[in-house]
Structures are given as structure tokens and as C-alpha cells.
């Protein structure tokens, strides 16, 4: 039409091409806006539900996961357990070596906990040096203790942090749904009591506690 037609045909042809190009540009811009919006929403959601230091689920996210676990238990009887983990004498690291070393240690601990987690387990940081692990399909204490021992064993390897060689250790308290309480509040209270008892006795579920944070630099 443009090449062989008359002047009016050429004008019509170029107009159609221009309109088509404008429509394509509009579609591309709209698509980019949708993608940008989705990315922004995901970023906001991630910031609201993840710990900025370790990248683990934060307290809000863990409470949501526990609520879903409670609902699953109520509807289908799928049991679960929680493990509350607290580093021993972590304050000494901050006081003696500085908060930067303490933060790096928390990141390393988070990495080790995540590495020890089974595919269905969820690990989060509640705040400070306190971590929480949700263990689905764990219905008895023996199972929960076995998993807790595995997490503590993952702390045994020394780590080099800011020129210091530190070997972290932790205390853990476990609680099983319906055996130690019903619902998030009761389970966390039971796990906290077990955690305190371990700190008081100085023993892990299976082995005597090792030195908490050993600086051998």
C-alpha cells in the first residue's frame, strides 16, 4: 500500500504502522509496570517477613508458620514440634570482641542452622541470639530430641570470624504439639522452660555442653 499506492494510501499505511507501534509500546510499558509492581510487592513482603541480618524468617513470619501448623493440626491431625535455640553467653562476644563480630557470628549460626534443616523444616530468628525451628510431622519427644541434637551438633565446628576462631554452642528447648501444650503460646512457653532447664543444668539433650564461645586465636 505504501510503495505502490497513491498519496492517500501512503498516509493511511504510515498511520496504521504508527498506531501499531504505539500499541506495542503501550503493551510493553504496561507489562514493565506490572513486573515492576510485582517485584516491589515481593521486596516489601520479603522485608516484612525476613530478618535483615541473617536472611532467615523473622518473628512475624515464624508466628504465621506456626499458625498454619496449628490449623493443619486442627483440620487433619498433622503434628509438629518446635525447637527454641539460644546461644550460650553470646553477650560475652559482643562485650569482648564487639558487635560486628557478634553479628557475623549470628550470620554463621543462621547458615549452620539452615544447612541442618530438613526440607520441610523452617528456621527463623526471633531476635537477638534466639532462633526458632518449626519441625512438621514430629509427634513424639524422641523425634524432637533427635532433631535438636542434630542442630546442636552442627555448632561444633570452629569458625573464623574477623580474625577470631570461635566455636559456638547453644541451648535448646523442644515442645511437641498436644504433648507439651496446644497452640503457639503454650508451645513456646514449654520450649522456653525446657531451654531454661538446659541452660541451668549445662547439659544438652545427649551430651554435656561444650564451652560456649571459645576464642582460640
pLDDT confidence tier of residue 208, bands split at 50, 70 and 90: very low
% of the chain at pLDDT higher than 90: 50
pLDDT at 138: 94
Residue 135 has pLDDT above 90, yes or no: yes
Position 207 pLDDT exceeds 80 = no
Rg of the chain taking only CA atoms, in angstroms = 27
Res 98: pLDDT: 92
For the chain, give the mean pLDDT: 82
Orientation of helix 7-49 relative to helix 59-76, angle to 10°: 90
Q: Cβ contacts of residue 150 below 8 Å, gap of 6+? A: 116
Question: What is the C-alpha separation between 165 and 168, in angstroms, rounded?
Answer: 10
User: CB–CB of 140/70 below 8 Å?
Assistant: no
Distance, CA of 112 to CA of 58 (rounded, Å)? 17
Question: What is the mean predicted confidence (pLDDT) over 44-62?
Answer: 80
Per-residue model confidence as pLDDT tens digits over 141-190: 999 999 998 998 887 789 889 888 998 889 999 999 999 999 899 999 99
- Residue 23's pLDDT band, with cuts at 50, 70 and 90, is confident
Concatenate the DSSP letters of all residues of 104-155 into one string. Answer: HHHHHHHHHHHHHS-TT-EEEEEETTEEEEEEET--SHHHHHHHHHHHHHTT
Amino acid at each position: 500500500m505504501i510503495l505502490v499506492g497513491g498519496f492517500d494510501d501512503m498516509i493511511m499505511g504510515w498511520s496504521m504502522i504508527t498506531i501499531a507501534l504505539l500499541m506495542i509500546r503501550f503493551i510493553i510499558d504496561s507489562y514493565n509496570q506490572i513486573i515492576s509492581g510485582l517485584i516491589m510487592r515481593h521486596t516489601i513482603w520479603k522485608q516484612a517477613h525476613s530478618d535483615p541480618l541473617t536472611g532467615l524468617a523473622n518473628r512475624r513470619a515464624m508466628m504465621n508458620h506456626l499458625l498454619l501448623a496449628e490449623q493443619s493440626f486442627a483440620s487433619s491431625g498433622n503434628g509438629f514440634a518446635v525447637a527454641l535455640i539460644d546461644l550460650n553467653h553470646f553477650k560475652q562476644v559482643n562485650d569482648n570482641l564487639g558487635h560486628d563480630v557478634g553479628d557475623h557470628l549470628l550470620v554463621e549460626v543462621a547458615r549452620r542452622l539452615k544447612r541442618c534443616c530438613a526440607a520441610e523444616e523452617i528456621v527463623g530468628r526471633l531476635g537477638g541470639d534466639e532462633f526458632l525451628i518449626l519441625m512438621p510431622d514430629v509427634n513424639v519427644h524422641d523425634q524432637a530430641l533427635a532433631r535438636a541434637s542434630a542442630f546442636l551438633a552442627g555448632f561444633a565446628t570452629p569458625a573464623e570470624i574477623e580474625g577470631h576462631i570461635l566455636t559456638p554452642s547453644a541451648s535448646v528447648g523442644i515442645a511437641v504439639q498436644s504433648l507439651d501444650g496446644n497452640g503457639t503460646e503454650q508451645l513456646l512457653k514449654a520450649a522456653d522452660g525446657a531451654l531454661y532447664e538446659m541452660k541451668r543444668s549445662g547439659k544438652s539433650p545427649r551430651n554435656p555442653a561444650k564451652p560456649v564461645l571459645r576464642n582460640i586465636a
